């Protein structure tokens, strides 16, 4: 075991680095505001992986000054410039068909259904595993959290 005095410089270095590259501890979801290139490193000199479309929800994993490492609904990790993210929240349908109901109740009337990969605007979380969402055409209702990703 190393003496405590030898571990202090390492601890000090780790603590000083935290404000520069702090990981996000709670799930923090944001939405891609404009179509953007995803990279394998936090630099435009990194390898371009693919273009992510506007309205796609992503989970912040690491937050640097001008770059954010994000996870998509498929679990892929990549870097995006922070300027391409917005505070607006969306969710993406992961089920083959998500049923959006009038109330947060499985027996409530069906308002509409959305197919897999459709983005919906997040409105609020409801009790019992439901989320209120709105489609871009204006319809809104409640969907089960097991049918979407981004909350």
Residues 104, 135 share a domain: yes
Alpha-carbon gap, residue 40 to 60, rounded angstroms? 15
Residues 28, 53 share a domain: yes
Q: Output the six-digit token pair for 128.
A: 């019992």
Residues 96, 140 share a domain: yes
* pLDDT tens for the chain, residues 1 to 151: 555 455 444 444 444 444 444 444 456 999 999 999 999 999 999 999 999 999 999 999 999 999 999 999 999 999 999 999 998 899 999 999 999 999 999 999 999 999 999 999 999 999 999 999 999 999 999 999 999 999 8
Question: Whole domain around residue 134: which residue ranges?
Answer: 91-149
Overall domain count for the chain: 2
Q: What is the DSSP letter of 26?
A: E
Q: In the beta sheet, which residues pair with residue 97? A: 115
Residues 108, 74 share a domain: no
Residues 44, 80 share a domain: yes
Which stretches within 18-111 are classed as H helix?
none
130 CB neighbour count, 10 Å cutoff: 20
Q: What is the DSSP letter of 55?
A: T
The dihedral over CA atoms of 11, 15, 16, 21, expressed in degrees to the nearest 10, equals 130
Distance set, CA 18 to CA 14, 62, 68, 80, 114 (Å):
7, 11, 15, 20, 41
Measured in whole angstroms, how far is the alpha carbon of residue 103 from the centre of its chain?
Answer: 25
Determine contact, residues 71/28, Cβ cutoff 8 Å.
no
Identify the domain boundary among 42, 61, 88. Answer: 88
Residues 82, 39 share a domain: yes
């Amino acid at each position: 075991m190393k003496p405590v005095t030898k571990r202090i410089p390492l601890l000090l270095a780790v603590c000083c680095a935290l404000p520069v590259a702090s990981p996000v501890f709670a799930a923090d979801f944001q939405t891609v505001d404009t179509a953007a290139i995803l990279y394998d490193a936090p630099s435009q000199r990194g390898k371009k992986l693919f273009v992510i479309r506007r309205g796609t929800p992503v989970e912040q994993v690491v937050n640097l000054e001008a770059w954010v490492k994000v996870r998509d609904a498929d679990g892929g990790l990549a870097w995006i410039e922070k300027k391409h993210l917005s505070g607006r929240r969306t969710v993406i349908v992961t089920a083959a068909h998500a049923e959006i109901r009038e109330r947060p109740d499985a027996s409530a009337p069906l308002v509409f259904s959305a197919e897999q990969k459709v983005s919906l605007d997040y409105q609020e979380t409801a009790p019992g595993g439901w989320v209120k969402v709105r489609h871009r055409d204006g319809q809104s209702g409640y969907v089960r959290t097991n049918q979407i990703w981004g909350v």
